[in-house]
Structure 1
Amino acid sequence: MCQVCHSVDPADRAPVDICHCGAPGTQAAFARIEADINRRRMIGGTAAVLGMFAGFGLAPREVRAQTPGRPLLLTNLRLFDGETLALRDGVDILIAGERIAALPPIGQGPQEAERIDCGGRTVIPGLIDAHWHATLVAVSQIVALTQDIGFVHLMAGREAGATLMRGFTTVRDVGGPAFGLKLAIDRGVVAGPRIFPSGAMISQTAGHGDFRLLNELPRFPDTPANYIERQGVAQIADGADMVLRAAREQLMKGASQLKIMAGGGVASLYDPLDATQYTEREMRAAVEAAEDWGTYVCAHVYTSTGIRRAIAAGVRSIEHGQLADEDTVRMMADNGVWWSIQPFLADEDSNAYTDPRQIAKQQQVAEGTVRAFDLARKHGVNVAFGTDILFNAQGGALQGRNLAKFARFMSPLEALHKATGAAGALLALSGDRAPYAGALGVIRKDALADLLVIEGDPETDLAWLETSETSLRLILKGGRIVKDMLA
C-alpha cells in the first residue's frame, strides 16, 4: 500500500480516489514486476548452484529426451519385465513421456515413433537398491560424524550420479539427511536415482544410531542435540512419546517410510549385536505414526528376539536379519513381512572396519548369511535386494557386484527379480507417501519408464553387473536417456 493511502482519513477513504494502487490493473502490474524480479533471482541462483555443482563434477549429464510429440519405441530386443522369471521375445516397448505406453508386438508400434534398435540385447527394468544410504556411502565414518556437512552432501551428490550410471535408477534410503539430495535430483540440478527417503534413523540411547563418544555422556533433558542429530543422520529418542515425536518429524520432512533401530549393529561401537533395542510400545509408537500417514516402518535388526518384537509391533520390513532362527523366519512369512537382506559374507567387498569389536560382529553376521538365504527360500519370505554399503568411499562401485552375489543363492533371474519387481513391491508399501506416482521395477503398461539395455545374458549369470561401464548400453530414467552406448 502506498503512503498516499495511509494519509487519507479512514472514514473518507472509500469515496476518495486519490491512489489506484488497489485497482485490479495496478495489482496486475505489481504481480508482473514481482514475477520478473523472482525470475531473475531464480535464474541467478540456479546458475550459481549449477556452477558450484559443475565445479565438483555434479552437473547433470547430457540427456536426450523424446522428441516433443513423438513417442519412443525400443525394438529388436529380449524382455525381462521384472515380474516373470523368463525372457520374452516378440514385443517392442513403447514409451510416451515418462511412462511405458504399451508392449506392442514387433512391427506394430506407431509409425511416428522415434525408434531405438537394441541390437537383440535384453531390456530390463531399472535396478532398485532397497537398503542404501545416499549421503553416507561415499565418506568414512569419521568424516560423516565430524566434517562439514556441506562436504558430505557434495560427496553424496557425486555418488548419486555414479549410482545412476551403475543402472540403479531407484534407491530406498534407510537413514541419513537425503531430503536435499532427493530434491536436487528431482529438480534436475544433480544426476542421480529416485530416492525413497527415511530421514534420520530413530534410535534409543545406546542403540545402533547412537554414535556419541563416551565422553559425551551423560545426557540431560536440556542437553542440546549432538552433531549427527543436528545434521539429520540419526535421532535419539527414548520412550514412546519421544519416539512418536521423532517419527512425526521425519514424516514432516518428507519421509516415505520410517527407519528404527531394533537391535545392535556392526558399525556402532557400544551396542552388542545381540542387544534388543526399543520396547514393543516404543516401536509401536513409530508404527502408529507411520500408519496414520499411510506408510510403514522398517527396522534394523539381526536377532530373532528383536525381529519377533518388531513384527509384534507392526513393522513391515526387516533390514538384515541374518541371525534369525527358523521359527522367526516362519513368523516373517506368516505375517507377510518383507526381508531386506544383504549378501554380508565378510569378504573383500565388505565394509572395512579396524576396531576389533566391529570386525568380530561383522564375522558373526557373515556366518549367518548363507543360512538366512536358505531359510528365506524354504519358507517363502518376501525378499528384496539391498546393499547397505556404508562409510566406504570405494564401496559404492561394488553395488552391482553385490547383486551378482545373490545368484549364489538363487537363479540369476530370481536374483534380478529381487532388485526389480520384488523391490518395487516393497517400495509400494509407502502408499500415498511414495514420492513418485507409478510402478517401479517392472516393464508393463503405465509403469515408469526406467529401463536398462544390457550387454549380457541374465538367464545365465549376472557377471555383467560388475562391468556396468561397458555392459549397460542404454539407461533411461523416466523416459529420458541418461546414457547411450548402443551406437
Structure 2
Amino acid sequence: MNLCIKLLLLSLALSLSSAFAGDKPLKILITNVHIFDGVSEERLMNSNVLIEDHLIKQISNQPILVDDAIQIDGKARTLIPGLIDMHWHSAYASIPMNVGLTSDHAYHLLIGAKSNEKALLRGFTTVRDVGGNVFSLAKLTDTGVYDGPRIFPSGPAISQTSGHTDFRPSTAVPADLDAPLVYMERIGHVIVADGVPEVLKRTREALRMGATQIKINSGGGVSSSFDPLDVTQFTIEETKAAVDAAKDWNTYVATHTFTDAATRRAVEAGVLSIEHGHLLSEETLRLMKEKGAYLSMQPILDDEDAIPFPEGSFSRMKYIAVTKGTDRVYQLAKKIGVKTVFGTDTLFDPELAEKQGKQLAKLARWYTPVEVLRQATSTAGELLARSGPRNPYPEGPLGVIKQGAYADLILVDGNPLENIDLVANPQENFDLIMKNGKIYKNELN
C-alpha cells in the first residue's frame, strides 16, 4: 500500500471517529434482517434495527430514517440475541488440570482472557462464571482491555470439608486450624466453610469481592477426588445461611448438585439455580417448578465429546453415572415445565471449550430449535436479572432483541429456528457478532 492510500485511509478513519465523538452517540442501522427476538416462535421478517451506543433504540419492519448512522445490510440473514453460557469457568475452561493446579493466578487469568476472546467469537456475549476469582478479568473486559463476553462472577465456590471444591490434599486431615489456606483458596478460586458462622462469613466475603450471585456445592461431583456422587453436602442450616446472606444483598445462590436428596435440601433452603441435576426424579423437578428454581443443566453424554477421564478411574465411573441420567432429566424437565438454561461447564479442556456451540446444538435431542435458543438467550437473561442490584449491567435486559435491550446481536447465515446446527459452526455461519453495540466480527462487507 503506497503512502497516499495510507494517508487517505487515515483521514477517513479520523473523520469517522470525529463524526461520532463527544456527546453525539454512535448509531448503527442494521437493515434487511429476519429477527428471532429470543422469545417468539416465529421470526419478525424483513426488519430493521437501530442501535444507539450500546442499546437497541428501535426495531421496525418499516424503513428507519436516520441520517447519521453507520448502515449494515443484513442481506436477509437471521438476527438473534447474543448467546449466554450460564455455567462457564473463565479461569479453568482452557487449562489442562495438571497445568491449572500447578500455575499461579495470573496464568489462569491470562489464559482465561484468551479463552474468553474465543468464546465471544463463537457468539457468546455473556457468561455466568460459577466458580473462580475472575473479578479483575470481568473489570478489564468491561473497560475494553480484553475482548470477551461480559461476566457475571460468583467468585470462590464455597464447599464443606470433603466437598466438591475441597482442593486440599488427602493428607490434610485432621485439619489444622492454624494451617495456611491452600493456594486455590488463597487466590479466591474456592473456599472451604463448615458450620453456619463460616458459611455466612465466606458468603459475605464473596459478596464483598463483587459476586453477582453465590456458588455453593451441595452434593458430590465428577471431577473431585473425595466425594462420591451420592453424598449430600451442607446441612439445611448451612445452606440457608448462604441463601439468607445472599438475600440480604438482594441476589441468589446457585449450587452444584446431581442427586435428589442434595437438590431437595438446597431447593427447600431457597437455592434458586440448580447446576447439573442429571440424577433428579420427577418429584424433585416438580418441587423445583413449584419453588420457581431454575435447572442449569449441561447436555453431556458419553459420546465423542466425553471428558477423557482415565478408564476405570473414580471420576470416569461417576461421569458414566451422570451421563446416563441426561436423557431422562431433560425429558422430565420439559414435560413438567421447569425453567431450564444452557451451560457448558467446560473444565481443563481447550478442545472441548471450542465446541461451545456444538454443545448448544446438542439440545435438539430433547427440544425444538426455538426452545434451544431460549435456553441460551431469554431464559438465561431472566435468571441473570435475578442478581438484582448486584447486576453490573442494569441499563437493559440481556438475551432478547427489543427496544432498550443491550445490543448483543448475531447475524446467522440461515434460519436457526429451522436448523439449530447452524450454531455449532459459528466460524462459518455467524457473519456478524456484536456485543454492547461494538462489532467484533463482520463478514458481510
TM over 0.5: yes
Aligned: 1:295 with 2:247: no
* 1:131–1:172 Cα contact (<8 Å) kept: yes
Q: Per the alignment, in what secondary structure is the counterpart of residue 77 of structure 1? A: strand
Aligned: 1:252 with 2:208: yes
Residue number in structure 2 paired with 1:453:
411
Shift of 1:85: 2.1
Q: Which has more radius of gyration? A: 1
Per-residue CA deviations over 1:337-368 (Å, capped at 9, x if unaligned) read 00001001122213222261100000000000
The AA in structure 1 aligned to 2:181 is A
In the aligned structure 2, how far is the partner of 1:310 from the partner of 1:113?
Answer: 50
Residue number in structure 1 paired with 2:285:
329
Shift of 1:466: 2.3
* 1:299–1:318 Cα contact (<8 Å) kept: yes
Q: Which moved further from structure 2: 140-149 or 415-424? A: 140-149
* 2:90–2:109 Cα contact (<8 Å) kept: no
* 2:50–2:64 Cα contact (<8 Å) kept: no
Residue number in structure 1 paired with 2:225:
269
Counterparts of 1:179-194 in structure 2 under 5 Å? 179-194=135-150
Residue number in structure 1 paired with 2:388:
431
Residue number in structure 1 paired with 2:5:
none
The AA in structure 2 aligned to 1:382 is K
Out of 330, 351, 356, the residue aligned to residue 394 of structure 1 is 351
The AA in structure 2 aligned to 1:236 is V
Counterparts of 1:188-337 in structure 2 under 5 Å? 188-337=144-293
The AA in structure 1 aligned to 2:431 is R
Residue number in structure 1 paired with 2:109:
153
Out of 83, 93, 113, the residue aligned to residue 127 of structure 1 is 83
The AA in structure 2 aligned to 1:268 is S
Q: Per the alignment, in what secondary structure is the counterpart of residue 322 of structure 1? A: coil
Residue number in structure 2 paired with 1:378:
335
* 2:164–2:221 Cα contact (<8 Å) kept: yes
The AA in structure 2 aligned to 1:347 is D
Shift of 1:470: 2.0
Shift of 1:149: 2.2
Aligned: 1:358 with 2:315: yes
In the aligned structure 2, how far is the partner of 1:367 from the partner of 1:317?
Answer: 22
In the aligned structure 2, how far is the partner of 1:89 from the partner of 1:381?
Answer: 30
Unaligned residue ranges in structure 2 (runs of 5+): 1-15
Aligned: 1:462 with 2:420: yes
Q: Per the alignment, in what secondary structure is the counterpart of residue 469 of structure 1? A: helix
In the aligned structure 1, how far is the partner of 2:133 from the partner of 2:193?
Answer: 17
Q: Per the alignment, in what secondary structure is the counterpart of residue 299 of structure 1? A: strand
Query: What is the count of residue pairs matched by the alignment?
Result: 424
In the aligned structure 1, how far is the partner of 2:304 from the partner of 2:157?
Answer: 27
Shift of 1:272: 0.4
Unaligned residue ranges in structure 1 (runs of 5+): 1-63
TM-score, length-normalised on structure 1?
Answer: 0.85
In the aligned structure 1, how far is the partner of 2:153 from the partner of 2:65?
Answer: 37
* 1:351–1:391 Cα contact (<8 Å) kept: no
In the aligned structure 1, how far is the partner of 2:319 from the partner of 2:291?
Answer: 28
In the aligned structure 2, how far is the partner of 1:294 from the partner of 1:84?
Answer: 30
Shift of 1:393: 2.2
Aligned: 1:72 with 2:32: no
Shift of 1:300: 0.4
Counterparts of 1:399-418 in structure 2 under 5 Å? 399-418=356-375
Residue number in structure 2 paired with 1:117:
73
In the aligned structure 1, how far is the partner of 2:65 from the partner of 2:400?
Answer: 20
TM-score, length-normalised on structure 2?
Answer: 0.93
In the aligned structure 2, how far is the partner of 1:133 from the partner of 1:97?
Answer: 29
